[in-house]
A and B are shown apart, each in its own frame.
Chain A
Amino acid sequence: MTLLPSFDRDALAARYLSLLESLTLEINAGLSALVKRSIHEFRSHLAQQEQLCFELREITMILADRTSPSFSLPHLGGDSELSSRIFRATQELQTLNRTYGSFLRHSAQSGALLAAVCRSFQDRLRPVSGAMGQSTLSCEG
């Protein structure tokens, strides 16, 4: 685990909230990109999601480490408004994450099916010539 510099607990909590909100935005954006079937855009949001998850995990591990000398958990912060916002942001993210998971599961099933069709047809399809050479089996993801 990377050690984060020691700073006050509310600052850490504020950073945590900011990451939660950013991750929520990135998941929403990623979902929209996938629905539009824009794979490049989706991969860009996915990279952001991975980075934000990494940072969130780092902070969460510090917060969860009750033996850490830097923090006297479990009562880390004194700002109850901030705590409430983190609570709501966590709830919102978890709710969105369920939708994200459901969508990915169904979409991946469709993709796997189409990929199987492509594989089975790959050897049987011959390239067509002439003006309508673009009319081939559509299997795009």
Chain B
Amino acid sequence: MSSLNTSLSIAMQALMAEQGAIEATSNNIANANTPGYSRVVPIFEEAEPTDVNGISIGNGVVLAGYQSVRDQVLATRIDQVTQQNSGAQAQLNSLQQVQTYFDSTGTDIGSEMSAFFSSISELETNPSSSSLRQSVLSAAQNLATAFRTTSSGITQVQTGLNQQVTSDVAQINQLTAQIAQLNSQLAQAKAGGQDGGTVQDQMNEDLSQLSTLTDVSVTQTESGITVTTGNGTALVSGSQSFNLQTSAGPGGMTQVLDSEGNNITATIQNGDLGGTLQVRDGTLPGLLNQLDTLANQFATAMNSANASGTDLDGNTGGAIFSVPSTVAGSAADITVAMTDPSQIAASSDGTTGSGGNLTNLLAVQNAQLPMGSSPTDAYSSLVFNVGEVTSNAQAEVSGTGSALTQLQDQQSAISGVSIDEESANLLQYQQAYEAAAKVVSTIDELGAVALNMGTGEGSYY
């Protein structure tokens, strides 16, 4: 009889466990399309075995209870990759705007620089020609305008990003306040013996949105969740939220402060805010510095070359361009100083109509500036750099986007294999990743060799 009772008990436990599973499955199907809904997974455990005369007798499975479970590992990775994807997207959006100023439109710096030197070359055919001299001055004006337009364009993008920082911080504060409130509601629901699944789902949705804005870390505690930034600054703890603040920093750039007033701007790496800050404070100042250096050194070199000759009136050549004494702001403020075409110092020997010094002016195009390259090469390098950072951001957007799709697919999939099989499966992936990384590296090398061979449009070899 005892054995019959034991068998019935095991059967009842198994039946209860199955019933629970059916209810969970029905709930999952009904909510499958609800954003932020967490799959409810039935958790089964073996019942404690009974020890009879030293022999362990199994007691079947028991339903330990429902747990609103998202696989925490996958959820964490999804949050991390979401933050990286949003950061890369923010970088890409702003860099694509910057790139338009370097497109070869005919009025870009490269085109205008080329036109400027062409006009000097034309002047060589008739150095005393007023119209050809005027053409040189006009080309100089166009080139100065191109420098100013490009500099102004980059600065405008930077200003837009600065406004975005304030907007992102406001959204972060709104979300953390909501999360704190939901945290409180969830604690109350659980204290009252309720599941609180709907509140949990809303909180998950808010956390996902928060992940698109900045890098956050979520920790489960007894009082609910604690949300911190990547560097550990508290944003939410239980029912309390801690607002980020903003303040004007150097150059009018908005700084992000924690609730205690500490500057955490440099520690924010991902999400829209992280990507915005990286471009605003890192990429764009770097590009502006390159542009300023080129404008300053190019103008100085041209002025120096003009000073080595004499103009139509027999005077030593004056400055063609005017730039600030410091490098900073040179591209924004470059102007043409020369007002009279006769001041172009074409002559090298003081003879009217001589064009000997035009060779010196033309030589600047390919002469090495203090920055280590010629004006033409320096500008090409600048264009290349803009293309590189934009391309890298694009690759990161695509790469993280694919990684996110993979993770989401993985999260929604139900695994039926044992942990041993899963470990073996993961090992296969790791080996494949290592082999694939070598392929990536080889293609990189092949590209570099191709460049060294002089690969280029129309001249591959």
Contact = CB atoms under 8 A, between A and B. Distances in A.
**Which 3 A-B pairs give the minimum distances between C-beta atoms?**
A102-B399, A98-B395, A83-B460
Interface stretch (B275-283, B375-383, B407-415): B407-415
A128 B420 contact: no
Contacts of B439: 27, 46, 49-50, 53, 100
Contacts of A29: none
30 contacts: A30-B436, A35-B402, A35-B405, A39-B425, A46-B436, A50-B435, A53-B446, A57-B442, A63-B453, A64-B449, A75-B461, A76-B461, A83-B460, A87-B455, A97-B443, A97-B447, A98-B391, A99-B394, A105-B399, A106-B81, A106-B400, A115-B426, A125-B419, A128-B44, A130-B44, A132-B61, A133-B61, A134-B416, A138-B422, A140-B426
Interface residues of A, number: 78
Interface in A95-141: 95, 97-115, 117-119, 121-122, 125-141
B44 A138 contact: no
B17 A130 contact: yes
Contact of A118 (B391, B426, B446): B426
B435 to A, nearest CB: 6
Contacts of B403: 103, 106-107, 110
Contacts of A119: 423
B426 A101 contact: no
B440 A97 contact: yes
Q: Which bracket fits the contact residues of B? A: 35 or more
B384 interface: no
Interface in A57-94: 57, 60, 63-64, 73-77, 80, 82-84, 86-87, 90, 93-94
A84 B458 contact: yes
A77 to B, nearest CB: 6
B42 A132 contact: yes
B313 interface: no
Point out which of A80, A106, A122 has the most chain B C-beta atoms below 10 A from its C-beta.
A106
Given A63-B453, A84-B457, A128-B45, 18 more contacts: A9-B461, A35-B405, A39-B429, A53-B443, A60-B449, A75-B461, A93-B443, A100-B399, A101-B395, A103-B398, A106-B81, A107-B433, A111-B433, A128-B44, A129-B58, A137-B419, A138-B422, A140-B425
Given A107-B403, A129-B61, A115 B430 contact: yes
A106 B450 contact: no
Contacts of A82: 460
B190 interface: no
A43 B425 CA distance: 13
A87 B409 contact: no
Contact of B458 (A80, A95, A125, A141): A80
A57 B457 CA distance: 21
Point out which of A13, A90, A93, A126 has the most chain B C-beta atoms below 10 A from its C-beta.
A90
Nearest to A81: B458
A134 B77 CA distance: 25
Contact of A138 (B392, B413, B427): B413
A20 B13 CA distance: 62
A103 B426 contact: no
Contacts of B42: 132, 135
A93 B21 CA distance: 49
Nearest to B452: A64
Contacts of A42: 432
Nearest to B445: A57
Interface in A14-72: 23, 27, 30-31, 34-37, 39, 42-43, 46, 49-50, 53, 56-57, 60, 63-64
B457 to A, nearest CB: 5
Point out which of B71, B403, B458 has the most chain A C-beta atoms below 10 A from its C-beta.
B403
A97 B437 CA distance: 10
Contacts of A27: 439
Contacts of B433: 104, 107-108, 111
